[in-house]
């Protein structure tokens, strides 16, 4: 397990809450009761904080707004479109609403729209096989074919397991074709880290995120301050990005 993965799993709200409650129980047994209550309260407070939609809108929305969404017509032309593997909240339009396949928009969908708008003549899909033998790159290529993107317009990078490796191995593919300017496609939440690592590799990347997902829903009954299991579950991705940015900065990858 990498350092980034370890820290992410450690501070995921529900995991940390359970860990601190268990630690508090042990401290209570050994009669460090004041410390036990403090540790347990910290765990419960961490989980409660992330169960509030207001917390996700503040912390996650802040990352999404660093590179605002632009329509294909608003983006410049480039030599290639680079799509990173992964999925945030299954591509659903809004984290605080149930998943709807009819309105979901994945990273691959965003790339296909850019290609059809003639923003670039080539799509590079990046991602190794996280499970099984079929890489994320191949899965994305298959999805693109279903959207009538010709196979000759696609390049696959199937070795990368992390965002850092996405940039490292994709850069090799790009340099072989003398490609320097790309449209970088990933989720809005992931874009700050993705842009930082690609620029570190010397690639002139233009942020082309999928539409933001951490937005206030239209439901008039939506409450910023009512704890929600959906918000608590979705917080995993937000925490992952903040921990990822910290670890990547420490390791000199951004």
HSE-CB of 251 using CA atoms within 13 angstroms: 14
- Helices 163-176 and 229-250 sit at what angle, rounded to 10 degrees? 60
Same domain, 30 and 102: no
Q: What is the pTM of this model?
A: 0.88
Considering the domain architecture, whether residues 122 and 142 belong to the same structural domain is answered as yes
**83 and 188 both lie in a single domain:** yes
Q: Per-residue pLDDT tens for 102-122?
A: 777 889 999 999 999 999 999
Q: What confidence tens digit (pLDDT) does each residue in 162-210 have?
A: 999 999 999 999 999 999 999 999 999 999 999 999 999 999 999 999 9
Structural domain boundaries, residue 25: 3-62+230-250
Q: Please write the tens of the pLDDT for every residue from 47-96.
A: 999 999 999 999 999 999 999 999 999 999 999 999 998 765 567 788 88
Residue 190's domain is classified under what CATH number? 3.40.50.620
In a domain? residue 217: no
- pLDDT at residue 130, as a whole number: 77
The order of strands in the sheet holding 80-84 is 154-157, 123-126, 80-84, 181-185, 204-207
> So what's the pLDDT on residue 87?
63
Structure-token pair, residue 235: 């917080």
Q: Are residues 79 and 54 in the same domain?
A: no
Structure tokens given for 171: 């850069």
């Amino acid at each position: 397990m990498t350092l980034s993965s370890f820290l992410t799993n450690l501070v995921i709200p529900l995991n940390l809450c359970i860990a601190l409650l268990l630690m508090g129980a042990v401290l209570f047994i050994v009669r460090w009761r004041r410390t036990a209550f403090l540790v347990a309260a910290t765990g419960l407070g961490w989980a409660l904080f992330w169960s509030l939609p207001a917390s996700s809108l503040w912390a996650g929305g802040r990352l999404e707004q660093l590179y605002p969404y632009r329509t294909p017509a608003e983006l410049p032309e480039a030599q290639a479109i680079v799509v990173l593997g992964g999925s945030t909240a299954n591509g659903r339009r809004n984290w605080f609403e149930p998943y709807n396949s009819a309105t979901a928009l994945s990273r691959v969908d965003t790339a296909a729209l850019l290609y059809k708008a003639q923003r670039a003549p080539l799509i590079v899909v990046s991602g190794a096989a996280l499970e099984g033998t079929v890489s994320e790159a191949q899965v994305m290529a298959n999805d693109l074919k279903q959207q009538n993107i010709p196979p000759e317009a696609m390049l696959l990078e199937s070795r990368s397991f992390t965002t850092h490796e996405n940039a490292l191995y994709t850069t090799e593919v790009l340099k072989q074709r003398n490609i320097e300017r790309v449209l970088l496609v990933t989720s809005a939440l992931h874009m700050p880290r993705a842009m930082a690592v690609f620029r570190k590799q010397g690639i002139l990347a233009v942020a082309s995120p999928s539409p933001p997902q951490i937005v206030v829903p239209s439901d008039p009954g939506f409450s910023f301050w009512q704890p929600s299991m959906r918000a608590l579950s979705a917080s995993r991705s937000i925490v992952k990005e903040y921990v990822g940015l910290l670890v990547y900065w420490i390791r000199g990858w951004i």
